[in-house]
């Protein structure tokens, strides 16, 4: 069985007024991990966070957008604990560790502007991307059951 961690970027609302053609995208990304590897990866990542972050951040999710520019995000938990350079350094170390994990990545990009132009009543981009992602997973892993879940990184 596989577990899938999903995260979105962009906006899935099609009713936004005056969208910018060059910036109206929705992305749904997924990390796939086999059930047998999940516990070990979670354990390694928590140990990594305990070695590199103060205790109040051990169970806080990693947000690359915030870590890249902590000073620009007023509501981030990282603010006042890490500065911009420390955030980027931590993120670089995290990427190196994650790159050693036995995971697969998949991303679906939807151009909302073109979607609205092409279809009179388009499907919500989140659901459309989710359908594409699941279809791809099922096609690639015909004999493997998939379980949609959240992996607490």
> Alpha carbon of 54 to those of 3, 50, 153: distances in Å?
29, 7, 16
Angstrom distance (rounded) from CA 45 to CA 152: 9
How do the pLDDT tens digits run along the chain, 153 residues long? 888 888 887 666 666 666 565 567 888 888 889 999 999 999 999 999 999 999 999 998 888 889 999 999 888 999 999 999 999 999 999 999 999 999 998 888 888 878 877 887 888 888 888 888 888 777 766 544 444 444 444
Instruction: Give the total residue count for the chain.
Output: 153
Angstrom distance (rounded) from CA 105 to CA 66: 21
Of 39, 27, 51, 31, the C-alpha closest to 99 is 31
């Amino acid at each position: 069985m596989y577990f899938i961690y999903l995260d979105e970027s962009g906006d899935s609302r099609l009713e936004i007024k005056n969208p910018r053609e060059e910036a109206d995208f929705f992305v749904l990304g997924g990390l796939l991990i086999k059930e047998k590897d999940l516990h070990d990866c979670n354990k390694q990542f928590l140990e990594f966070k305990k070695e590199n972050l103060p205790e109040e951040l051990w169970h806080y999710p990693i947000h690359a957008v915030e870590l890249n520019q902590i000073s620009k995000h007023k509501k981030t938990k990282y603010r006042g604990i890490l500065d911009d350079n420390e955030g980027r350094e931590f993120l670089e170390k995290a990427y190196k560790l994650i790159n050693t994990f036995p995971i697969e990545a998949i991303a679906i990009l939807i151009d909302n502007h073109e979607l609205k132009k092409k279809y009179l009543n388009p499907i919500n981009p989140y659901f459309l991307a989710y359908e594409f992602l699941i279809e791809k997973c099922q096609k690639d892993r015909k004999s493997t059951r998939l379980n949609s879940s959240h992996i607490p990184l």
